[in-house]
Structure 1
Amino acid sequence: MTDISETAPVTVPDPRTAATAPRPDPSSIWAFRGTLSRRAQIGIGVGTSVGLLLIWEAVARIGLVNTTFLPSPSTVLSSMLMMVQKQNLLQHAGISTLRVWVAFILAAVMAIPIGILMSSYRVVGAALEPIIDFIRYLPVPALVPLSIIWFGVGESTKLYLLWLGTFFQLVLLVADDMRRVPHEYIEIAHTLGANTRQTLRDVAFRAMLPGLVDNLRITLGWCWTYLIIAEIVAADSGIGFVIWTARRYMKTPEVMAGVVVIGVIGLVTDQLLRALHRRAFRYL
């Protein structure tokens, strides 16, 4: 057996030394979970984007890649301006944006109450969650033939495919947002005499609202990712139609111009929703 007297002494850190130990400066840009001013964030983002564009332009001009497959940014920009003037690119972009928003709003109107009910009442969650989990793992492209059989090749098929790629993801995110509302809030509301409807509307929904708005912003981006799939189904308008037509004739600059337009619309929309979130929930 080991003699207690022979064991190494246990050193207890001096609290005064720990208090004076150097800590990372949160104002440093490389600090773990540090802070950056809004101006610095914009400057770094713009600088990085411009740097990548310059590298891309240089690679294309030097000839390190075949410009048939990767045209330079200047060529893509020229194609985009030509498409705006001669191919009604802005009109196609407006049609695609309208489709995305109609399908997204329809998905949100359905997903928000269903998600709240799933997390608020165990019987609803037990009944619906296995079905939703099964459907959300189905690849949307594999359901295109069924969509055509059910809805034909009109506008309803495109909206259905966009809705399909958004609704089943969003409903589970809404349910998780409601589950994250602290149970203490519900108990306090009941203690103060609130009924179930008042508790859901005035306490739980308001508590989950910041997370809900953030998840709506994320799922709107997912809805845009299904646009090409939706607009290749006997379409004659929309950015997806423009991209698919240009691909058929190997017009790579026009394909990339259409992709860039989608990215720009998504970026602008995302930044507007971020600004709305910061303004509406300043207390976070």
Structure 2
Amino acid sequence: MLSFRKAIPRRQEIILGAAGLIAFLGAWQLIAMSGWVKPQFLPTPPAVLAAFWRLFTEAGFTSDILISVGRVWFAFLLAVVIAVPLGLLMSCYRSVGAFFEPFIDFIRYLPVPALVPLLIIWFGVGEASKIAVLWMGVFFQLVLLVTDDSKRVPAEYIESGFTLGANQWQVIRDVIFPAALPNMLDNLRITLGWCWTYLIIAEIVAASSGIGHVIWSLRRFVKTPEVMAGIIAIGIIGLLTDQAFRFIHRRVFTYLDR
């Protein structure tokens, strides 16, 4: 019997997640073996697993993963360092929000892939342009999310801070930021996923390393198992990172589970 919006035990959650994964792999295997799709376009899961192993043992895929992880995290942390203070200021001072929000709203609707030629002109084909692509894909969305999270802090909290003698900066630091932090951490988890989605775009432009470069290079030789293995590698890294964020959220904000 399904329970509407009720929590389920952690063990049951893990079992259901594993069952869903097994069902997906089984359906994939059946479709690949049925002959409906040529193996050249849809290899079987064992073929992709073998290709995954070859990437690590023969193609030095570990170094490409480390390079991509470094690029993603550098761009993401750079976006966070700028977006969080700016979002707090935009929520606390309406004049700051009125100044920045129209421009940020305009930029966030621009497709990042369309900006790649311009970023190359500005930053060249080195690391700077790749970081810029990843940063552009995260920053403008994140700053508005942080602003919204800060605006949702109850006015009673802020009034209590001023009543106890805190000044404006102390209220921002000791009241608004801690109160908004749980939702902010969730939004950081989501926007980090967005950063990974732009990795391929960032690494197909004059790159000689990284997961995106490997995938794009293998595509030219129609090595579908290896291409799928590279895509799955991104998914695995993203899943592990996402679970790490969830773990931190549960451990730090234990009072939210009560």
| 2:68 corresponds to 1:89 | no
**Residue 233 of structure 2 corresponds to which residue in structure 1?**
261
Q: Give the letter aligned to residue 125 of structure 2.
A: V
Which of residues 146, 162, 165 in structure 2 aligns to 1:174? 146
* Offset from partner CA, 1:29-83 (integer Å, 9 cap, x none): x111122000100110011101110111122122121111111111111011011
TM-score (norm 2): 0.98
Matched letter for residue 130 of structure 2: K
Structure 2 CA distance for aligned equivalents of residues 142 and 197 of structure 1: 39
Matched residues, percent identical? 59
Residue of structure 1 aligned with 2:43, choices 68, 71, 74? 71
SS of residue matched to 1:234? coil
The 5-angstrom pairing of residues 196-275 of structure 1 reads 196-275=168-247
Aligned equivalents of 1:64 and 1:142: distance in 2? 36
- 1: CA distance between counterparts of 2:202 and 2:168? 41
The equivalent position to 2:18 in structure 1, one of 37, 46, 54, is 46
Higher helix share: 2
Higher relative contact order (CA 8 A, sep 6+): 2
Whole-angstrom distance in 2 between the partners of 1:35 and 1:202: 32
Question: For 1:115, which of 74, 79, 87 is the aligned residue?
Answer: 87
Q: 2:156 maps to what in 1?
A: 184
Once the two structures are TM-superposed, the CA of residue 91 in structure 1 deviates from its matched residue by: 1.1
Equivalent runs, 1:118-157 vs 2, <5 Å? 118-157=90-129
Q: Distance in 1 between matches of 2:66 and 2:47?
A: 23
Supply the distance in 2 between the matched residues of 1:188 and 1:274 (Cα, whole angstroms): 30
Moved over 3 A (4+): none
1-structure distance, mates of 2:22, 2:107 = 41
Secondary structure at the counterpart of residue 255 of structure 2: coil
Q: Distance in 2 between matches of 1:276 and 1:258?
A: 27
- Root-mean-square deviation (CA), in Å? 0.8
Inter-partner Cα distance in structure 2 for 1:59 and 1:142: 36
Q: Distance in 2 between matches of 1:148 and 1:34?
A: 50
Bigger radius of gyration:
1
1:193 deviates by: 1.0
Tell me what 1:17 maps to: none
Deviations 1:94-135 (A, max 9, x none): 110010000000000000000000010000000000000000
Aligned length: 256
How big is each residue's C-alpha offset from its partner over 1:233-271, in whole Å with a ceiling of 9 and x where there is no partner?
100000000000011111111110100000000000100
Q: For 2:250, give the aligned amino acid.
A: R
Provide the residue aligned with 1:21 in structure 2.
none
Equivalent residue letter for 2:199: L
- TM normalised by structure 1 equals 0.89
Consecutive unaligned residues in structure 2, runs of 5 or more: none
Instruction: State the one-letter code of the partner of 1:130.
Output: P
Partners of 1:155 and 1:59 in 2: how far apart?
A: 41
Distance between the aligned counterparts of 2:161 and 2:57, measured in 1? 59
Secondary structure (helix, strand or coil) at the match of 1:283 reads helix
Look up the equivalent residue of 2:102 and give its one-letter code. Answer: P
